[in-house]
Amino acid sequence: MRGLLPHYFLFSLIQAGRLPVNIAMNLDIPLEAKPCHKAVRVPSRKHAPSARSVRITKSLLTQKTNQPPSHGEMARLLKSVASDRSVEAFEALFRFYAPRVRSFMAMKTGDRQVAEELMQETMVSVWNKAAQFDPERGNVSAWIFTIARNIRIDFYRRRRPAFDPHDPAFVGDDTPSAEMEFEQVQDAALLRQAMATLPPDQLDVLKRAFFDDVSHSTIATELGLPLGTVKSRIRLAFEKLRSALEGRR
């Protein structure tokens, strides 16, 4: 049932003339061809002809925007947004994350305009909530993913109850906070390395789960695999990631 909504939504966009039919059609093609990226990029060229922005802020001058900057650098920029309301630091974050968040949004919605709006919402939220970023609980990329995810959930009018670390009945962790923060910085680097070594079939299942916003049974149908195989790929992938993290401890 959940899968029907986006299609119906797309269908109404096609009818309203907001979305070219070929883009919507592309969505049914398996991910290998990265149809969603293409689908989004084609119309966006129309929007931004030759004068694509080449301005890059100082902090990102040393690296291409495709190259992930260090997590320490990102955390520093975000801290500067939180404490000094630094527009410059925010611009550096925006230049790196906004195109990626827009890609992420486009994968599910398939609509350029909706993806643009949801990206803007996400980045405004990053600006507003910067002070709530807790380096003990994860790195900046993970935090921005959770914001984008929650905005996507809201857009589809779903609810996702969450725990509250300030609740008196909440059972906290004994690990000292300085240690947690250190662990998180290390974990981010280790996770990145470990992800690079995952077999393609396991990585593919994770991508579909996180980005396409579909259930495991939908993934199984799309890949023509039994549900058990999809579940075991998930389990194997996370066993591998966890053992990479535990190797450090």
Partner 1 sequence: MNIQHHLSDDLLLDYAAGNLSEGWSLVVATHMALCPSCRKRLSAMEGAAGALLDKVEPVEMPADAWDRMKRRLEGIRIEEVKAPRPAAPAGSGMVFPEPLRSYVGADLANVKWQALGLGAYQVRIPTADPSTQVRLLRIPAGKPVPEHTHVGRELTLVLSGSFHDGDDLFGRGDIEEADDNLLHTPKALPGEDCICLAVTEAPLRFSSWIVRLIQPILKI
- The DSSP element (H or E) to which 167 belongs, if any, is none
Per the structure block, which two tokens stand in for 227?
């549900």
**Count of residues binding partner 1 (CB under 8 A)?**
95
- CB-nearer residue toward partner 1: 215 or 221: 215
Quick check: 75 binds partner 1 (CB under 8 A)? Answer: no
The region of 7-15, 16-24, 25-33, 46-54 touching partner 1 under the rule CB under 8 A is: 46-54
Quick check: 221 binds partner 1 (CB under 8 A)? Answer: no
| Nearest residue to 141 (alpha-carbon basis) of 193, 190, 71 | 71
- Residue 157 burial by CB count (10 A; 0-12/13-18/19+): exposed, middle or buried? exposed
Per the structure block, which two tokens stand in for 51?
């004068």
Per the structure block, which two tokens stand in for 100?
């990626």
Tell which positions 2-41 bind partner 1, by CB under 8 A.
2, 34, 37, 40-41
Tell which positions 125-184 bind partner 1, by CB under 8 A.
127-128, 131-132, 137-146, 148-150, 152-153, 158-164, 166-174, 184
- CB-nearer residue toward partner 1: 77 or 98: 98
- What Rg do the C-alpha atoms of the chain give, in angstroms? 20
Quick check: 231 binds partner 1 (CB under 8 A)? Answer: yes
Please, what is the minimum distance in Å from the beta carbon of residue 202 to partner 1? 11
Measured distance CA(47)–CA(13) in Å, rounded: 19
- CB-nearer residue toward partner 1: 10 or 121: 121
Measured distance CA(129)–CA(147) in Å, rounded: 10
The region of 6-14, 16-24, 25-33, 88-96 touching partner 1 under the rule CB under 8 A is: 88-96
What binding mask, one character per residue, do residues 94-113 give for partner 1 by CB under 8 A, x or -? xx-xxxxxxxx-x-------
Q: How many residues does the chain have?
A: 249
Among 4, 16, 21, 48, binds partner 1 (CB under 8 A): 48
Quick check: 53 binds partner 1 (CB under 8 A)? Answer: yes
Quick check: 59 binds partner 1 (CB under 8 A)? Answer: no
Quick check: 80 binds partner 1 (CB under 8 A)? Answer: no
Measured distance CA(44)–CA(202) in Å, rounded: 31
Distance between start and end Cα atoms, the chain: 43
Measured distance CA(208)–CA(155) in Å, rounded: 19
Quick check: 187 binds partner 1 (CB under 8 A)? Answer: yes
Among 27, 31, 223, 234, binds partner 1 (CB under 8 A): 234
Measured distance CA(5)–CA(36) in Å, rounded: 18
- CB-nearer residue toward partner 1: 14 or 234: 234
Measured distance CA(150)–CA(137) in Å, rounded: 17
